[in-house]
Structure formats: C-alpha cells, structure tokens
Chains A and B, each alone.
Chain A
Amino acid sequence: MRGLPFGSRRGADAMERVAAGRSLWSDAWRRLKANRAAVVGAATLATLALAAVVGPHLTPFAYDEVRKPEVWLPPLTDGHILGTDALGRDLLARLLTGLRVSLAIGLVATAVSLVIGVAWGATAGFVGGRTDELMMRIVDVLYSLPFIFFVILLMVTFGSNLVLMFVAIGAVEWLTMSRIVRGQTLTLKQKEFVEAARAAGLTGGQIVARHIVPNLLGPVAVYVTLTIPAVILAESFLSFLGLGVQPPMASLGGLIADGAQQMELAPWLLIFPGVAMVATLMSFNFIGDGLRDALDPKDR
C-alpha cells in the first residue's frame, strides 16, 4: 500500500495548501487589506489606542493637576502643548486620559452587549416557538422605552461608578445585537450541518455553542465595530448632560461639554477634544464599513 498518494504526507500537504487561502476569514482579510479607508481607519485607531494607553504616563502634567496661575493658556505656551482649561489643567493630559476612558467604555460596554445579545438572540432563534416569541416581545418592550430613561435610572441607582456605568450602557445596547443574531440563527438552524450535529447526538446547548455561534461571527463582528462608536457617543451624550464620567476624571464627551461652555474664551478646549472624538468615531466606522464589504459575499 505504500506509495499511494492517499493518506501520504504529500497528499495531506496538498490538501492543506488548497484549504488555506480559501476560508471565509482569509478571503475577508485579503479584501479588508485592499480597502484603503479601512486600512487608514485601522492605523488611526491603533495610533489613538497606543496614545490612550501609553500617553497619560508620558505627559509632564497629571490630568487632574490644578495650577491656578496657568488658567486658559492657549496651545504651545509654557510646556502645555494643547493649552490649559479653566482650572489650569493641562489639556493634553486630560485629552489622553479622556480618550482612554472613552475607548475603555466602548470596549467594555460593547463586550457586555455582545455577551447578552448573542446569548439572547441565539437562544431565541434556536429554541423558536413560544420561547422565541416571548423573548423577542421582551426586546420589543425594551425598545419602546427611551434609552435615556434607563440610563438615568441606572445612574441614580448605582451612582457614578465608572465600571457600573460601562455595564449599564452595555446592558442597554444589546437589543439590536440580539435581533441580528436571532435572524441569523433562524437561517443557520435550517442548514445541514446542524441536522448532522443533531443526528450525532449533540444537545441543543452544544449545538448553539459549537455550531451556531461560530457561524454568527461575521455579521456580529461587523455590528460590534459599529456598536463601539455608538457606545462612545452614548457616554458622551451622558457626559454632556452631566450624567457621565464625573470630574476630575475626563472622557471625550465630558471634555467637549466643558469646551462648549467656554468656546468663546478658549476655543481650543472644544476643538481638540472634538477632533479626537471625530477621529475615533471615523476610524471605527471605516473599519466597520470595510469589514461589512469584506464579509458580505453579495458584492463580490
């Protein structure tokens, strides 16, 4: 039997080579790399993330260091590269800290919404019937409550605890995710590999975890990159209304709100945080759009 290519080393190699480069993900990766806007977005985001992680340790001033005589210094004076605010705090230090807080909120809240949304939507879609109807009706009801109502109540209940705020926003943002996941699950459920798994004796929970959820990753990944900026915006709205991150802690929204009140005296307090916010949101949106184009086989 030796010498037959079947089962031999060479045969296996050839099969691996054919398999490589043909999967959905490597295909999508190639298309994503060809998308200029997405690459620029990813590079911008990487720079911003690096600045947010490392930056606050490198600035000569602390974000909450009040220096009374150095109030409202314009940019590039006395070592304050971006100037100072009404309390003489260094804007660069505050901006980097705010960026860090906003990115962290985006990631944590999105992770929370991801876990709840995927679990809820996949269960509803997979189990179907009465359970599905009940679970989706709950989503409908929660949709009909104003977002801000939830958030205000969560804020006053839990106080302005940063971590709880992350979780609270995530707990509000999962609704759309669960709808998307349910819709996808409904179609996946009909596929042959699910039938095969059932025939092999897997339980419902195993099928959902091992076969349904991994196949959901495409649309979910796209929605995640669009949820992160939505969450950052939501936090900013809250900060704008004075309900978000409490001073002296900073977030991009809080800094913009601060800057908007003093924009006639010190326009840089509005402009720099505004630019940072727009750059962050834009890079996420470009990545999200690129990911959608890369994963959507329709436009091939």
Chain B
Amino acid sequence: MLRFLGRRLLVAIPTLLLVVTLAFFMMRAAPGGPFDSDRRLPPEIEANVRARYGLDRPLGEQYLAYLGGVARGELGPSLKYKDKSVLQILGENAPVSLRLGGLAILLAGMAGVGLGVVAAARQNRGADHAVMALAAAGVCIPTFVTAPLLILVLGSKLGWLPSGGWNGGAPANLVLPVLVLALPQVAIISRLTRAGMIEVLRANYIRTARARGLPERRVILGHALRAALLPLVSYLGPACAGLLTGSLVVEQIFNLPGLGKFFVISALQRDYTVVMGMVILYAGLILLLNLLADLLYAALDPRVRLS
C-alpha cells in the first residue's frame, strides 16, 4: 500500500513536469503577449516592463527560472494584475469553484446513485423508463441551454432566485448554478450505476444471497451496490477535476468569480504566470483524484491488488 503510494507519487512528478513544460512552451509559442493592450505602451516602457518580469531573457532561461520557482512553491506575480501574486489570485478564485463543484458532485452523486439503483431494481418497468428518459435528457441538453432557461423562468419571470452573481456565496445564489452543473452528472452517474447494478445482480453471489432468503433491500444495498459502483469510481476522478476547477460556461452565465472564467480571461490576455498556475492546479488535481480513484477501487474490489 505505502509502496504503491510512493511509486504513484514518483510517477506523478515527471508527468507534472511534462505538463508544465508543454504548457509553458505552447503558451509562449502563441502569438501576442501580456502587454499588447488597446493602448500600446511606448517601446522603451514596454522594454522596461518586460525586463522587470524577466521576459527579455532567452526562453530557455525563463523556463528554468520558472521551474526553480515552482520547485520552491512560488508561482510568481501576475502580469496583468499589478501587486497580486498568482497564489493570491488562485486563493481568491478557487474557493468559488470548489464550493460550486463540491456541492454539485455531492448532489449528483446522491441523486445519480439513488436513481440508478431504483432503475436497476425496477428494470424495464415504469420507474426505470422514467429515470432513463431523465438521463437521456440530462446528457443531451447542454448546460448553456438549461442555464439561460432556468434563469429566465425561475429568475426573471417568477423572481424566486437571483439570476446570477456570487453575493458572498449566499445559498440562494448557489441553487441555480449547482443545479445546472449537477444535472448532466446526475444523468451520467445514474446510467453508470444502473448498468453496473444490472450486471452485478446477475452474479452468482447475488443469487446465493437471495437463496439464503435475504430481503431484496439488503441484497441490493448490502451486497450489490458495492460492486456496482466500481465503474463509477473510475469515471468520477476526471469528472471531479473538471467540476472542481470550474465550469467555464456556468461561471460565465451566472457571472461568478470562479477559476474557469478567470482562466479564459487570463489565457486571452496572455497572463502567462496566472495561466501556468491554473494549469498546474488542474493537472495536480487530476493526478490526485485519479490516485484516490485507484485507492477507492481497491477498497471496493478485494480482487484488485495495488502494486
């Protein structure tokens, strides 16, 4: 177990290094720079500013300097927001995305697993068809259609909920974005759970459990669910990373100050250091969540040996 963890962490470091390298050079290969705004700076001033951030040095040198900084835990200053460091910016935006994404995952996990189990237990009957229809709708109706429609109906027309904004994370402001984020995930999770459950319910050990006279409830919740959740675990790793680092569209539509929205703005403005910081955060989160998924997988399935 410890050896497994150690090996995985050792493999994660070169992966992360490659990600950083690739992102760094791709970012720099793109045309434009952080200081071309509508009002062009006089050349001498721009040269001064570039020198101040070390952008005048050869690219290889900048890369090594950046890597050295990352190794010491420094992500550098933002090129666009004066007197703010990248860490400060991430610290301001991450909590918004984390809270939204976390709540959405929680909601989607509970609703999705619940609906999937119900559908599998009532396979090919009314409840099953209803859940599968809901899942088909959830997969096919994109967030940028549901979000404006919900805002239009619940926000503008009925006035029950605010149409957007963060408002310090007030519960009323969270309802719609979390719902919109969770909906497609509910659809996917309920399908995965149903498919896994149906397969597991045919297994011999389930037949044994039934033959021993266990009530159906205990067969499903006590014996089948654990194995049925396996496919879900490998799906959830990357899905969580995506949700936690912010859904661009939802943050854009609801005007929320989260990571996703900020990432796009920074990339368009070539705020190199901020973009790199976000790429590192995202890649680190993916590696971490995949590792967690593997651990969880092993915990759920005794046949899997970590090595």
A residues near B (Cβ < 8 Å) are 137, 140-146, 148-150, 152-153, 156-157, 229, 233, 236-237, 240-241, 253, 256-257, 259-260, 263-264, 267, 270, 274, 277-278, 281-282, 285-286
Q: In whole Å, how far is B172's beta carbon from the nearest beta carbon of chain A?
A: 20
Q: Other than A146-B263, A240-B252, A260-B147, give 4 A-B pairs with Cβ distance below 8 A.
A: A140-B15, A233-B142, A263-B148, A270-B152
Which one of A152, A241, A285 contacts B252 once the chains associate, using CB atoms below 8 Å?
Answer: A241
- A180 CB, nearest partner CB in chain B, Å: 14
Given known A-B contacts A236-B142, A264-B152, A274-B149, A149 and B29 have beta carbons under 8 A apart? no
Choice from B152, B252, B268, B279 contacting A146 with Cβ under 8 Å: B279
Q: Which residue of A lies closest to B191 (CB)?
A: A289
Verify A285–B27 contact, CB threshold 8 A.
no
The reply to whether B136 and A282 contact each other, CB–CB distance below 8 Å, is yes
Query: Do A157 and B31 have beta carbons less than 8 Å apart?
Result: yes
Q: Which residues of A contact B142 (CB under 8 A)?
A: 233, 236, 256, 277-278, 281
Give bound CA distance, A153 to B279, whole Å.
13
Q: Decide if A278 touches B140 in the complex (CB within 8 Å).
A: yes
Can you report 6 residue pairs joining A to B where beta carbons are below 8 Å apart?
Answer: A240-B249, A241-B249, A260-B144, A270-B149, A277-B142, A281-B139
Given contacts A149-B23, A236-B144, A256-B145, contact A157 B152 (CB under 8 A): no
Contact of A144 among B264, B275, B287 (CB under 8 A): B287
Contact with A along B127-169 (1 / 0, CB 8 A): 0000000001001111011011101100010000000000000
| Cross-chain contact B152 with A267 (CB below 8 angstroms) | yes
Return chain B residues, CB-CB under 8 Å to A146: 245, 263, 278-279, 282
Whole-angstrom distance between the Cβ of B285 and the nearest chain A Cβ: 9
Measured CA separation A252–B83 after assembly (Å): 41
Closest A residue to B198 by beta carbon equals: A299
Q: Which residues of A contact B121 (CB under 8 A)?
A: none
Nearest residue in B to A261 (C-beta to C-beta)? B148
Contacts of A270 in B (CB 8 A): 145, 148-149, 152
Docked Cα-Cα span, A267 to B156, in Å, equals 12
Task: Tell me the B1-43 residues at the A interface (CB within 8 Å).
Answer: 15-16, 18-19, 22-23, 26-27, 29-32
- Say whether A143 contacts B286, CB under 8 Å: yes
CB atoms of B139 and A285 under 8 A apart: yes
Closest to B26 in A: A153
- Give the shortest distance, in Å, between B211 (CB) and chain A (any CB): 24
Q: Are A144 and B286 in contact (CB under 8 A)?
A: yes
Roughly how many angstroms separate A257 CA and B238 CA in the complex, as a whole number? 27
Q: How far in angstroms is the closest Cβ of chain B from A89?
A: 20
Return chain A residues, CB-CB under 8 Å to B156.
264
Q: Does A152 contact B264, Cβ atoms closer than 8 Å? A: yes
Contact of A141 among B18, B148, B149 (CB under 8 A): B18
Residues of A within 8 A of B249 (CB): 237, 240-241
